Chains A and B, each alone.
Chain A
Amino acid sequence: MDNFRDDKLKQIIKSELDRVTPDVQAENRCLREIHKKIEMRSGIMKFNKKRMVAALAAVCTITVMGTVTAIAGGKITGLFSSTSRDEMVHSKVELIQLAERQMGTTPKIVDTFSNGISFNEGSITKVEGRDENQNPLISYPELYAGYGENNRVGLDIYEIQDMIPQGSSTVIKHEVYQDITLEAHEDDYLFLPPDAKPSEEDSKLEEEGKLLISYGSSEEERKVYRYVNWSENGMKYTLSSSDDLSCDDLIGMAKEVIDVK
């Protein structure tokens, strides 16, 4: 194609497209929507980052929430929190002091588990439970304690909130220890690059609630996220990991937390 034809085509395309102009109102509406989506997704990102433990820190967006599933409007559909590295403390004593001041309670925290995994860092974060329109319905402090290299194990503790719905994850194991019921759960996660398309099989599993698909990783990665939760003295405890620790391992560690005097 010589210059004349290229110029002609260029001119036609430019003049045609220049006629397409979104109005200012639409432009502003779009910007509001963009901010809403950013807030929602970064909230989910922060929420899940903490839930998924630092081993999965590269993950950007989780499409389905882990322990809090989407429910009817007017109710909590997501939990949002953010943690700054500056807010992290690196001693168990300091974290307990923070909890006493900000949560009004003394949570049970293990220093080093019998399997050698030790306390690394922790923080108290403000968690917001929001409805589907992003309106905050409740707000409460939550303690996070990271254990081992790259916080491979996480312990979350917060005062029981009636408005937070029960999760839909499959209970792998039940166990009663010192009159406290321990429940072990397992979730399968698939992490995909931002523009990747899940296979039909994975999409079907996602629809059936058997697989949680997350977009934003640099390469495809599958992880099993296991966690054990229990309630004690009005507090909800969740011990979680996404590496090779089994549900039995986590239950054993949970018992050690319960044993803390």
Chain B
Amino acid sequence: MEDKKALVESMINGSEAAFDELYRSYSGKLYRMAYFITGNQSDSEDILQETFVKCYLHKSKLKQAERFEPWLYQILVRTAWRLERKKKGRAEISYEGILENEEDKKSAEHIREDKKTDGPLESVLVAETANEIQAALVHLDIKYRTVILLYYYNELSTREIAHITGTMEGTVKSRLHKARKLLKDLLEADGTGNTEMERGICHG
């Protein structure tokens, strides 16, 4: 840990060797994170590169070396979101956008209520294979996938996730809750072969 802190400090002071070493030690994890968020290799490479370019160019803004990791995650997440916005444009509807509209929110709730009974997710998780869960994750909106990623893969607290994503902690908790629910719905819908309606709600 101390070694890493020293490396980060060297990088802040302009050491390219330290930067290269940090890249080698974080690139795998960050690539996986980008892949989880975007779902494709080409975008993941672009995001990885952009994250490290920004990391080096804005290194002077990192005031505490020990905050390097969350700072890097923050750059990655925002770069990924920005790329997503660029790719999708404004025409696409996000689940979150729909939930902000009261009428649609009711419809979404109605769709979910039409599904099987709201049993615990536990039973679904146990029943489904990892591949099915992975496939279901792809259908979640990028902001929900990000929260799931940071919470389950990076094992960050909702407070840390709020800082990284630039949102309120309450929003993170709410997204986490909704993401779990959506995941459950998607898995259930998949089981009944009724996925089209859900895909209209959450773009993948």
To the question of whether A and B form a pair in one complex, the answer is yes
Whole-angstrom distance from the CB of B173 to the nearest CB of chain A? 12
Q: With A12-B134, A45-B57 in contact, do A22 and B152 touch (Cβ < 8 Å)?
A: no
Query: Which of B32, B53, B153 is close to A34, meaning CB atoms less than 8 Å apart?
Result: B53
Identify whether the interface residues of B are mostly helix, strand, loop, or mixed.
helix
- The tally of residues in B whose CB lies under 8 Å from a CB in A reads 41
The answer to whether the Cβ of B68 comes within 8 Å of any Cβ in the partner chain is no
Contact A38 B35 (CB under 8 A): no
Contact B82 A195 (CB under 8 A): yes
Q: Which residues of A contact B144 (CB under 8 A)?
A: none
Chain B residues within 8 Å of A, Cβ to Cβ: 16, 20, 23-24, 27-28, 31-33, 35-36, 45, 48-49, 52-54, 56-58, 78-79, 81-82, 85, 120-122, 125-126, 130, 133-134, 137, 148-149, 152-153, 155, 180, 183
Task: List which A25-56 residues lie within 8 A (CB) of chain B.
Answer: 26-27, 30-31, 33-35, 37-38, 41-42, 45
Residue in B closest to A218 when the chains form the complex, CB atoms: B61
Query: Which of A10, A21, A194 is close to B54, meaning CB atoms less than 8 Å apart?
Result: A194
Chain A residues within 8 Å of B, Cβ to Cβ: 1-2, 4-6, 8-10, 12-18, 20-22, 26-27, 30-31, 33-35, 37-38, 41-42, 45, 60-61, 194-195, 197, 216
Contact A16 B134 (CB under 8 A): yes
Q: A13-B137, A31-B23, A197-B85 are in contact. List 6 more A-B contacts (CB 8 A).
A: A12-B125, A14-B153, A16-B130, A37-B49, A41-B53, A60-B57
| Those 6 A-B pairs whose CB atoms lie nearest each other, nearest first | A10-B152, A17-B32, A5-B122, A12-B130, A37-B53, A195-B78
Contact B148 A13 (CB under 8 A): yes
15 A-B pairs whose Cβ atoms sit less than 8 Å apart in the complex: A1-B121, A5-B121, A5-B125, A8-B125, A12-B125, A12-B130, A14-B152, A17-B35, A22-B31, A37-B49, A38-B56, A41-B57, A45-B57, A194-B78, A195-B79
